[in-house]
Structure 1
Amino acid sequence: MLDPKTLEEFGAKMSALLANSPARDIEKNAKAMLGGLLGKLDLVTREEFDIQAQLLARTRERLQALEARVEALEKTRSGQ
């Protein structure tokens, strides 16, 4: 079985080798291009999405309560 220290050394050497290779430049360019494309899209963060989902749930609850009140008022009014 391989020694964890040997694996760490190998990983460090590979990282150093890749940092100085054209692959690193390609990765940087790809990340920049992807970041630019995603920046143009109308996206929200997960936190913003969750906040809006909570707001929508509260709004639905209030709407249902208001609908029930209107229905009760209509029943009492039609009964008069």
Structure 2
Amino acid sequence: MIDPKKIEEMARQVHNALPPGLRSLGEEVDKKVKQVLQSQLNKLDMVSREEFDVQTKVLLRTREKLTALEEKLAQLEAQLARQPSDQ
């Protein structure tokens, strides 16, 4: 979900960019701009910063486990290569 404070900030920037005649409509324009921004931002395929941070940590842990498993596999392969074959 998009942070409502960010939406308000974007709406304020859009409102400030409007010509003075439109700006005088005040709260009505603010409400409409916020509604349009919220609607359009919700259509985007985005995740929150918190979700992104969580997934980044999960990925880091997964990489660490993969590295450990690759090292273990290399050790086991080396042990296997050193053992005389029974054939």
TM-score over 0.5 (shorter chain): yes
- Residue 41 in structure 1 maps to residue 40 in structure 2: no
Q: Structure 1 or 2: larger helix share?
A: 1
Provide the aligned C-alpha RMSD in A. Answer: 1.1
After superposition, residues 13-28 of structure 1 pair within 5 angstroms as 21-28=24-31
Q: d(CA) in 2 for partners of 1:71 and 1:37? A: 50
Say which SS state the counterpart of residue 33 (structure 2) adopts. Answer: helix
Q: Deviations over 1:12-57 (max 9, x none)?
A: xxxxxxxxx4132112111110100110111111111111111111
Q: d(CA) in 2 for partners of 1:35 and 1:63? A: 40
Structure 1 stretches of 4+ with a deviation exceeding 3 A read none
Give the TM-score, by structure 2 length. 0.64
Q: d(CA) in 1 for partners of 2:31 and 2:46? A: 22
Partner of 1:31: 34
Q: Which has the larger radius of gyration?
A: 1
Q: d(CA) in 1 for partners of 2:34 and 2:75? A: 58
Unaligned runs of at least 5 residues, structure 1: 1-20
Give the TM-score, by structure 1 length. 0.69
Identity of aligned residues (%): 45
Unaligned runs of at least 5 residues, structure 2: 1-23
